[in-house]
Structure 1
């Protein structure tokens, strides 16, 4: 990617992010500081913390989850599509607590794969993605997380690449209409397991409506996380936060092999400022409070 294209994408992302959340929710990372972190240092405005909806293990209506996360210092929520509570109920909870829904996770991408050899399955997968884009816009979010396919008996790496690219390109007009970006997550699916191939895949799509949702723990299995950060650079739109170690597997943030000081340095070098969403084992108040503290320690030092 040329430096001009990188700059263009960065400016596009900043402009899109500033408008997508809406004035009432003020959802973007550049607008506020993590509420439970001291703001004496100007650097402490770079990250906004969230959790995945399924991590919040408490009873009651959605408002209870929003209230708890607000009390614990989180800045927003990431929900799922399909299968989420009613849009009106979520918007009401979001407005009452001031916690935006920053995005949605496509919950069916593993089953209805855009890399499937069957056209009918790919059509279904694209329809689910399109619905997630609409759901996200209705909730005033601005991104949908997507796993583009799986390398295995039904698809080689090249086939996942070509099939998923074709399907993603078909939804770009809808992304433009609703102001919602599709973000590709790096997972253990046999696809793009080096930062260079991940970068090249995003560049092959060649659209500002598509970016990287970098999982800081998932990539550690394949190499230093900070290398992924530097290679992807301005393509990174959001971060999933978890830890992984060769001896422990997935573990609590700060207890694996991710070199968090090195990651902080790399994020500063590329100028990353945005959403950081925990993707770890959830729980109730005490567990979610511990996750917030661990994220703070990992990303702010």
Structure 2
């Protein structure tokens, strides 16, 4: 994940492996059940779409935001409560982040705001595609830590940028092969915890057509790996709706932002993304699940504006359904 696709700054590496490993067994069963429900919801949505019923996206797409977007001070619970008041259904955290999983779970219990997943905050700096095998191994360790933290927080996904095309030592083919090899090493843990690894499309020189991303995911060929589709990031290359139709059921979650030839990255609804076409494409593939704003955050007024823009652009609604998700799936 990156705001405006700039590399994330190095984050303080907090190794809480002992705590997370101790909680993994207790969390595993509930997380596996949580991870199964998006697929069931997707199948149900596809069936209702065929019959022409249940077509309101606001009834089956949940809204969240990235933790770093919250510019207001306060405890985890206070921030969760604020976001709920502003119209969000849940949160996406970052990893490694240094938050106490016990405090996060308590905040979810108190507010009804689930954590649906985490963003790997070190995937730009320490890449699976790095030419140095030692760095590749470190990237695998970090991804495994992210999987553990997501499960500990109650989430069911880790957003991952698989690498970056940088030159002759990190070509498109090398990013493809090295990242797949690294991801496959983490799949036993992902399946044990019930946490999916979701590949975000970004401006990293990799898979810049929907067919390439489709084939990349299909080569991995695992139910624990899918697409975290960023609606705004692809607009530079081709219409977002076209990507959605090609990727289809491989899309598990979506990032929400806008981009335009003249505006660059801008407020949701102010760029070149064809939102009606995006909504129709999401209906066609029967998408249901989490959408997460990935834009510059700020104070409560800014966060409320983002929430309202998501309603208008993505959900085509001025108000949300009263139904809220009961868990992180």
CA offset digits 1:27-53 (Å, max 9, x no partner): 99959xxxxxxxxx7623121000000
Task: Quote the Cα distance in structure 2 between the aligned partners of 1:264 and 1:18.
Answer: 29
Q: 2:102 aligns with which of 72, 82, 88?
A: 88
Aligned partner of 1:35 in structure 2 is: none
Task: Quote the Cα distance in structure 1 between the aligned partners of 2:260 and 2:107.
Answer: 37
> Could you tell me how far 1:62 is from its partner in structure 2?
1.1
TM-score, with length taken from structure 2:
0.80
Q: 2:112 aligns with which of 81, 89, 98?
A: 98
Q: Report SS of the residue matched to 1:300.
A: coil
The equivalences for 1:148-187 within 5 A come to 148-153=162-167, 154-187=169-202
Aligned partner of 2:240 in structure 1 is: 225
Q: 1:53 aligns with which of 48, 67, 73?
A: 67
Aligned partner of 1:213 in structure 2 is: 228
Q: Report SS of the residue matched to 2:215.
A: helix
> Could you tell me how far 1:280 is from its partner in structure 2?
0.3
Larger relative contact order (Cα-Cα within 8 Å, sequence gap ≥ 6): 2
Aligned partner of 1:249 in structure 2 is: 264
Aligned partner of 1:138 in structure 2 is: 152
Distance 1:251 1:107, change over 3 A: same
Task: Quote the Cα distance in structure 2 between the aligned partners of 1:187 and 1:28.
Answer: 25
Q: Report if the CA contact (8 A) 2:38-2:289 is conserved.
A: no
Q: Report if the CA contact (8 A) 1:18-1:28 is conserved.
A: no
Gaps of 5+ in 2: 1-29, 43-53, 317-329
> Could you tell me how far 1:141 is from its partner in structure 2?
0.6
Q: Report if the CA contact (8 A) 1:29-1:47 is conserved.
A: no
Aligned partner of 1:261 in structure 2 is: 276
CA offset digits 1:133-173 (Å, max 9, x no partner): 01111111100000000001330000000000000001000
1:280 aligns with 2:300: no
Task: Quote the Cα distance in structure 2 between the aligned partners of 1:115 and 1:177.
Answer: 25
TM-score, with length taken from structure 1:
0.87
Q: Report SS of the residue matched to 2:165.
A: coil
The CA RMSD over aligned residues, in Å, is 2.0
Aligned partner of 2:254 in structure 1 is: 239
Aligned partner of 1:118 in structure 2 is: 132
Q: 2:121 aligns with which of 92, 107, 112?
A: 107
Task: Quote the Cα distance in structure 1 between the aligned partners of 2:201 and 2:272.
Answer: 17
Q: Report if the CA contact (8 A) 1:143-1:183 is conserved.
A: yes
> Could you tell me how far 1:19 is from its partner in structure 2?
2.1
Q: Report if the CA contact (8 A) 2:72-2:299 is conserved.
A: yes
Task: Quote the Cα distance in structure 1 between the aligned partners of 2:314 and 2:279.
Answer: 6
1:67 aligns with 2:99: no
Task: Quote the Cα distance in structure 1 between the aligned partners of 2:122 and 2:227.
Answer: 19
